[in-house]
């Protein structure tokens, strides 16, 4: 089955790496590469569901498509609750598999792009001094500069300077840009 699926995907122009077991996959560099996984529930050694759990533990969010002749409804529910992209319990149809693999690859690309944006935003946030962070938190909470100055025991002009530096370091041109950056970071947690 592994060879047939690999051949189908290659024939459609996709790059394929096939592994004889979950352990072989986990030992490879493929774990970090962009893509998706097509797994069976039953595999030599570690099951597909156990591999899914192992990948989650490692923080890997690669989309997983389960394709099995041995699955049942509880297995499908378990896989989907754990974040599987798809699960089907029958002989695969080539066009359906190709369509779902392409959709999973597109999802992976979007997730990786968002992850890169979040990493960049986090790096910019790390540039803030503790005082700039205090000002940022209060600006994000909707406080006016005068209120921030009073709460922090600093002058209004100092608040304005810190606020300007925050905007520059976070590459925000407006308050809505600033909130967007913070929302992006909080959604990634």
Residue 188's pLDDT is what?
Answer: 60
The Cα–Cα gap between 140 and 154 comes to 18
Sign of CA dihedral 47, 53, 54, 60: positive
Give the residue-averaged pLDDT of 77-81.
94
Alpha helices, H only, 27-129: 48-57, 73-81, 94-125
Q: Which residue has the tokens 């050694």?
A: 45
Question: Per the structure block, which two tokens stand in for 81?
Answer: 């609750």
pLDDT above 70 (res 39)? yes
Region 18-36: mean pLDDT is 92
Beta strand pairing status for 37-39 and 64-67? parallel
184, pLDDT greater than 90: no
Query: What's the pLDDT score for residue 189?
Result: 55
Name, in order, each residue with C-beta under 8 angstroms of 142's C-beta and a sequence gap of 6 or more: none
Q: pLDDT per residue over 108-155, tens digit each?
A: 999 999 999 999 999 999 999 999 999 999 999 999 999 999 999 999
Residue 120 pLDDT: 92
Residue of 148, 181, 153 whose CA lies nearest to 167: 181
Contact predicate 102/82, CB 8 Å = no
Long-range residue pairs from 180-183, CB within 8 A, at least 24 positions apart, any chain: 181/121, 181/124, 181/125, 182/136, 182/140
**Which among 2, 3, 51 has a CA at the least distance from the CA of 23?**
51
């Amino acid at each position: 089955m592994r060879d047939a699926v690999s051949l189908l995907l290659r024939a459609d122009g996709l790059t394929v790496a096939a592994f004889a077991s979950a352990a072989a996959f986990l030992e490879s560099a493929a774990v970090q590469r962009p893509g998706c996984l097509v797994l069976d529930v039953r595999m030599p050694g570690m099951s597909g569901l156990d591999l899914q759990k192992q990948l989650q533990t490692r923080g890997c969010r690669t989309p997983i498509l389960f394709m099995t002749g041995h699955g049942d409804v509880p297995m499908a529910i378990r896989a989907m609750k754990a974040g599987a992209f798809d699960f089907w319990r029958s002989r695969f149809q080539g066009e359906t598999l190709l369509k779902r693999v392409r959709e999973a690859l597109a999802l992976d690309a979007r997730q990786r792009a968002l992850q890169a944006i979040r990493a960049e935003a986090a790096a910019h946030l790390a540039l803030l001094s503790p005082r700039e962070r205090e000002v940022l938190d209060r600006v994000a909470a909707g406080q006016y500069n005068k209120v921030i100055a009073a709460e922090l025991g600093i002058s209004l002009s100092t608040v304005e300077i810190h606020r300007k530096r925050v905007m520059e370091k976070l590459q925000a041109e407006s308050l809505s840009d600033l909130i967007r950056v913070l929302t992006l970071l909080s959604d990634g947690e």
